[in-house]
Chain A
Amino acid sequence: MRITVTVNGQPHTRDVEPRLLLVHFLRDELGLTGTHWGCDTSNCGVCTVHLDGVPVKSCTVLAVMADGHEVTTVEGLERDGELDVVQRGFVECHGLQCGFCTPGMLLTARWLLDRRPDPDEAEIREAISGQLCRCTGYENIVRSIRWAAEAQS
């Protein structure tokens, strides 16, 4: 099937198998390897991207379902050489270790701050509760997102 997906503001047209997962479309077709793959079952969330501004797990979205839609990946967070404030927050507060969950966490953090600019700890924990991190025990991810909320206000 021929699809056109706008990724990080750039339209991409490709012929793909109907069964191709969005995560593989992004990684293998477009070479955007910042979006990771981790579990097949929508549990881990390392494949999280924005589809029309809403976080989705791209391992359970078919590429054809993104036809005509807008996708934002971690590569799209930095604008004109300026890091997004959530990216800065993760550096400031040691919100990452191995870095594998980080892109998905950043995108969820961005979505949260777009909706709720001043989230408390409980709201942050709930927002990232569909994503796993095996390194940080979540503490510094929560702090990173709080730091970003304060830095952008």
Chain B
Amino acid sequence: MSFGRMHRKEDARFIRGRGTYVDDVRLPGMLHGAVLRSPHAHARIVSVDVSAAEAHPKVRAVITGQTLAGLNLAWMPTLSNDVQAVLATDKVRFQGQEVAFVVAEDRYAARDALELIEVEYEPLDAVVDARTALAPGAPLIRDDLEGKADNHIFDWEAGDRDRTAAIFEEAEVTVAQDMLYPRVHPAPLETCGAVADFDKVTGKLTVWCPTQAPHAHRTLYAMVAGLPEHKIRVISPDIGGGFGGKVGIYPGYVCAIVGSIVTGRPVKWMEDRSENLMSTAFARDYHMRGEVAATRDGRVRAIRVKVLADHGAFNGTAQPTKFPAGFFHVFTGSYDLESAHCEVSGVYTNKAPGGVAYACSFRVTEAVYLVERMMDVLAAELGVDPAELRMRNLLRPDQFPYTSPTGWEYDSGDYPKALRLAMDMAGYDKLRAEQAGKRARGELMGIGVSFFTEAVGAGPRKHMDILGLGMADGAELRVHPTGKAVLRVSCQSQGQGHETTFAQIVGHELGIPADDVEVVHGDTDQTPFGLGTYGSRSTPVSGAAAAIVARKVRDRAKLVAAAMLEASPDDLEWGDGRWSVVGDPSSGRSLAEIALAAHSNLELPEGVEGHLDAVTVYNPPNLTYPFGAYICAVDVDPGTGQVKVRRFVAVDDCGVRINPTIVEGQIHGGLADGIGMALMQVMAFDEDGNHLGASFMDYLLPTSMECPSWELGETVSPSPFHPIGAKGVGESATVGSPAAVVNAVVDALAPYGVRHADMPLTPANVWRTVNGDPFRTDLAIP
């Protein structure tokens, strides 16, 4: 009972079209909002004339930056302690920025009225290329910040600079490589939106919105809007994919709330796809230079990295406060190094804000890509097989728990075993032999290896908070008199299947079927406080809370059972879902029997108030560290540059698997992300800051035709830092897979002397790379 494969509870509604996503919420008298957005990347606002829009017969309100300024709401805090314009007052700073908000009787009328708003702009030069953002004379983006004279946001470093430099001085071999992890977007199929309903009589604000962090939203609304927090209810209904893009608060949400307050009616706002791609949280945009120092026989000694991080026009990255570059300093990866050092500088550009989104585990994605690309660059330099080079440098099982040169404490693992398993599954030697034969015939085949270590489950309160809110999660468990249970958790699923997995955790701990446990989530009035679902933290943090609160119930049940059995609690043992007197299995009392007794007139022992309900707050003692070994085989058409992913072998270790079917599904999705980012997806800009990937016609996502049939394997290294040994898996494959695909393509192109090419490896980019003329994938600037 409990752990293992079971059908998802969620599916019953989804296969019938009976999910409730935010756009499915319809309230009596509901109005519809639409956002007017800037066509310019950088321009001064001279005037905004809304009179014609206000005269539209179906329009009920038009809100501008000036309206909001009067309410002190024109700017809102970001998750990185910067501010972001809700509606622009002075300037627009990226194409697609919010300028005005129309509230009308229906969604078509709201859109019509946008056309009636006259905005006069005075265009300014835009900063599009992060590499020129700090150049003298670069246009100043954030003149709203007092005393700000440049586009610099932060400098940050980790590791030991001097020791690393000393190793590089004396190293037998060093290699260096510039690489870009391009700006991409998670593009969940459901865009963002909100339904806001402010009740003037009760003063209660209810906001339906697909947020991955409903409790954080509630607290921030209280801080931003000055509304009392107990009068705010955030309901995060079914979410059509999030992937990190639905963590933050977007201006449209605030506008919907203001629209409801102003009109006295509920207001729905749904963005369209272009709005979603142009204005909501992007990911990556890391310009990196990696260097590796090694011995001639392939022992990696040190890694050094310099990063220029493009954060867009407002610094809105979502990550723990202490870490402006997220967890990027986990870039030493899975290897045993003597020293490491990284420097990261963040800059403003005239692009949408964001940076941490898209299943990246707070920039572990960029870190893994960096180190796994560098391992291949070194392998090429040394003439060593890339799998063999990794095997020589992987951490050994006896080194765990392992403290990395940049201060992470890895929990558990047998890395060589995982890589060997992946190589066996792939038939690595045979693939290499096949490749040799093909090369002799002029055919291009590549094999790419990637070994990743994730850092998830943020996080320990003393190190980790977002805007001052510590990253611990609550859980409440009620056991009804008949022994059926209701678990309330703070996080919210975007498809990960929490209603099933968390029920399995409670079922496992209490010895009852998962079907007897209802999971309540996504409603701040019904659930305890917690920081939400991102960074693969649900199972590591909220899942741990679920296990702990169930154990509290079990402990309480023990005292009640002792009273029922007229025995000392010390004489009871737990087994098969029953408390029984040691040595007398026939005395066993099930949870249902104990629950009924706990609600009855049974005389309870001292210290037991009655009932079995319990609450907890789980503060993780450490992060958890899932890992995996991925091998990808590609064929490249030398005539067109087209890459075909033929095989993809993924061995994942995420500790104990609660529901293996769900775990595998999570991995499948992340592997597709890897193919998308490596081969197709990029948000590029022209020199004026025009977004060149603002629809699915231009921002290409992988379909069933680009994806192979995934081949999965597993090892299991329970985490000692988690009550059930689980590590989290939601982002592992997105983190680990891009490097495997790129390494495979670069391997295929080795006969042309290619050692690196930036993502995405589109046919055009492959063709240009082969011809020694790669282009910058982030810019359409000659």
Give the interface of A toward B (CB within 8 A).
17, 19-20, 24, 27-28, 31-41, 43-44, 46, 73-75, 77-78, 83, 87, 90-92, 94, 96-103, 106, 121, 124-126, 128-142
Determine if A37 and B17 form an interchain contact, defined as CB atoms under 8 angstroms apart: no
Report Cα–Cα, A40/B161, bound state, in Å: 50
With A125-B704, A129-B705, A137-B710 as known contacts, state yes or no: A37 contacts B23, CB within 8 Å.
yes
Cβ contact of A135, chosen from B16, B24, B669, B701, cutoff 8 A: B669
Q: Which residue of A lies closest to B496 (CB)?
A: A97
Q: Within residues 255 to 311 of chain B, which ones have a CB less than 8 A from any CB in chain A?
A: 272-274
With A87-B15, A94-B8, A94-B661 as known contacts, state yes or no: A141 contacts B187, CB within 8 Å.
no
Report Cα–Cα, A138/B709, bound state, in Å: 8
Cβ contact of B11, chosen from A33, A96, A103, A131, cutoff 8 A: A96
What are 19 A-B contacts defined by CB distance under 8 Å?
Answer: A27-B24, A35-B17, A39-B273, A96-B14, A97-B241, A97-B497, A97-B669, A98-B240, A100-B240, A121-B709, A125-B704, A128-B703, A128-B704, A129-B703, A132-B703, A134-B189, A136-B669, A137-B707, A139-B709
Report Cα–Cα, A97/B243, bound state, in Å: 12
- Chain B residues near A38: list those with CB within 8 A: 189-191, 240, 273
Residue B156, interface by CB 8 Å: no
Cβ contact of B241, chosen from A35, A74, A135, A137, cutoff 8 A: A135
Determine if A33 and B17 form an interchain contact, defined as CB atoms under 8 angstroms apart: yes
Residue B19, interface by CB 8 Å: yes
- Chain B residues near A36: list those with CB within 8 A: 21, 23, 189-190, 240
- Chain B residues near A97: list those with CB within 8 A: 241, 495-497, 665-666, 669
Give the interface of B toward A (CB within 8 A).
7-8, 10-21, 23-24, 26, 106-108, 186-191, 238-241, 243, 272-274, 494-497, 661-662, 664-666, 668-672, 695-697, 701, 703-705, 707, 709-710
Cβ contact of A83, chosen from B15, B666, B671, cutoff 8 A: B15
Report Cα–Cα, A38/B23, bound state, in Å: 11
Determine if B695 and A40 form an interchain contact, defined as CB atoms under 8 angstroms apart: yes
Determine if A98 and B15 form an interchain contact, defined as CB atoms under 8 angstroms apart: no
With A97-B665, A102-B15 as known contacts, state yes or no: A91 contacts B240, CB within 8 Å.
no
Determine if A125 and B705 form an interchain contact, defined as CB atoms under 8 angstroms apart: yes
Q: A94-B665, A132-B189 are in contact. List 4 more A-B contacts (CB 8 A).
A: A33-B24, A38-B273, A83-B15, A138-B668
Determine if B273 and A41 form an interchain contact, defined as CB atoms under 8 angstroms apart: yes
Q: Which residue of B lies closest to A121 (CB)?
A: B709
With A91-B7, A98-B188, A142-B709 as known contacts, state yes or no: A135 contacts B665, CB within 8 Å.
yes
Report Cα–Cα, A128/B661, bound state, in Å: 22
Determine how close the nearest CB of chain B comes to the CB of A77; give it in whole angstroms: 8
Q: Which residue of A lies closest to B733 (CB)?
A: A137
Report Cα–Cα, A97/B493, bound state, in Å: 10
Report Cα–Cα, A39/B24, bound state, in Å: 16
Q: Which residue of A lies closest to B5 (CB)?
A: A94
Cβ contact of A92, chosen from B7, B14, B273, cutoff 8 A: B7
Determine how close the nearest CB of chain A comes to the CB of B738; give it in whole angstroms: 14
With A40-B695, A102-B14 as known contacts, state yes or no: A142 contacts B704, CB within 8 Å.
yes
The 6 closest A-B pairs by CB, nearest first: A34-B17, A98-B495, A100-B240, A99-B14, A97-B495, A137-B668
Determine if A99 and B19 form an interchain contact, defined as CB atoms under 8 angstroms apart: yes
With A41-B273, A129-B703, A137-B707 as known contacts, state yes or no: A32 contacts B15, CB within 8 Å.
no
Report Cα–Cα, A91/B188, bound state, in Å: 21
